[in-house]
Amino acid sequence: MAQTTVPQEDPALLAAFEARIAAGESIEPKDWMPERYRKQLTRMMAQHAHSEIVGMLPEGNWITRAPSLRRKMSLIAKVQDEAGHGLYIYCGTETLGVDRHDLFNQLLDGSAKYSSIFNYPTLSWADMGVIGWFVDGAAIVNQTVLAKASYGPYARAMVRICKEENFHKRQGFEICATLAKGTPAQKEMLQDAVNRFWWPSLMMFGPSDKDSPNSAELLKWRVKRKTNDELRQRFVNLTVPQAQAIGVTLPDPDLKYNAETKNWEFGEIDWSEFWEVVQGNGPCNAERLAARNKAHDDGQWVREAALAHAAKRSAKSSAA
């Protein structure tokens, strides 16, 4: 895609760009933008797209073992939606002038980041409920705000994606609510899934504000509209009453309501665990990467067939 060749360091251009952002205007692909803005968006959107694609793996693992046809159908639909979100956001990155194949390669060779949450194993059916409830719930909190991001293609992608994430969250919460009313073994399975996914879900929002190197720039340019800690707190405030409603215990002895701030205060996150997972040393990082590479290799013949078919069609139409 054509990119502007105007030098980015031109202070007048930068001032005009920042004035547009301050006025709440949307920045579109052909508009001038500072190279740092383009880089930051490419980084964040690519990580987001990768997260959607890798995010299919922990749940895909349970499709064949869903406990009923209804559950199987909704899980297949959810996983398929995630593939769609990934492709949609990769398209968004291409409006910034990158080639999605370069991004795929970075995911496959392990040099790209994707959300830490997908490096945890899914050990029981209850994990499918808890992922929908917590992980999609966290994604909605994060992405509802990103739907007001200054970059038009990303913001618009978020509007559509959030609508689908809402279905995902509801189906997850419904699984949890059903298990919570079930046999003692089902309740125990649910509580175990909640115990394992609660803290990693809080980590999805990224490092605390004081340790977040990208936040200042992203907030200045209104890509992010809220900080990591603000969104994390919002997620906790929304989720605690939901846990109370279905009678599960969140695994945090320090969780308490502060009537003055109207926030549910929570305990210290284990940041060493977070950074270990982000750096590739989580429980399933190697497994996820291997599964993604295998899927890519197994799909080689499909890509070749599609290209051969396209070449044949274009030869036919130019001969006509």
Q: Footprint of ligand BYC on this chain (CB under 6 A)? A: 43-44, 47-48, 51-52, 55, 82, 113, 115-116, 135-136, 139, 142, 203-207, 212-215, 218, 228, 278
Please, what is the minimum distance in Å from the beta carbon of residue 82 to ligand BYC? 5
CB 264 within 8 A of CB 106: no
Name beta bridge partners: 151.
27
- Compare residues 260 and 268 and give the one whose CB is closer to ligand BYC: 268
- Compare residues 33 and 161 and give the one whose CB is closer to ligand BYC: 161
Please, what is the minimum distance in Å from the beta carbon of residue 232 to ligand BYC? 9
Please, what is the minimum distance in Å from the beta carbon of residue 260 to ligand BYC? 27
- Compare residues 164 and 188 and give the one whose CB is closer to ligand BYC: 164
Which residue is closest to ligand BYC by CB? 55
Cα separations in angstroms, 124 against 23, 37, 219, 249, 274 = 49, 41, 38, 18, 23
Task: Evaluate the CA torsion angle 120, 126, 128, 130 in order and state its sign.
Answer: negative
Please, what is the minimum distance in Å from the beta carbon of residue 34 to ligand BYC? 17
Please, what is the minimum distance in Å from the beta carbon of residue 178 to ligand BYC? 20
- Compare residues 203 and 243 and give the one whose CB is closer to ligand BYC: 203
- Encoding tokens for residue 67? 């406990």
Degrees, nearest 5: CA angle 126-188-122: 30
Pairing state between β 256-258 and 263-265: antiparallel
Please, what is the minimum distance in Å from the beta carbon of residue 114 to ligand BYC? 6
- Compare residues 55 and 129 and give the one whose CB is closer to ligand BYC: 55
Please, what is the minimum distance in Å from the beta carbon of residue 16 to ligand BYC? 25
Cα separations in angstroms, 229 against 45, 208, 211, 234, 236 = 20, 6, 11, 9, 11
SS3 98: coil
- Compare residues 17 and 78 and give the one whose CB is closer to ligand BYC: 78
Structure-token match 């980084």, residue found: 43
Residues 6+ apart with CB under 8 A from 228: 205, 206, 207, 208, 209, 212, 215
- Compare residues 186 and 237 and give the one whose CB is closer to ligand BYC: 237
How far is residue 16's CA from residue 145's CA, in Å, rounded to a whole number? 24
Residues belonging to the chain: 320
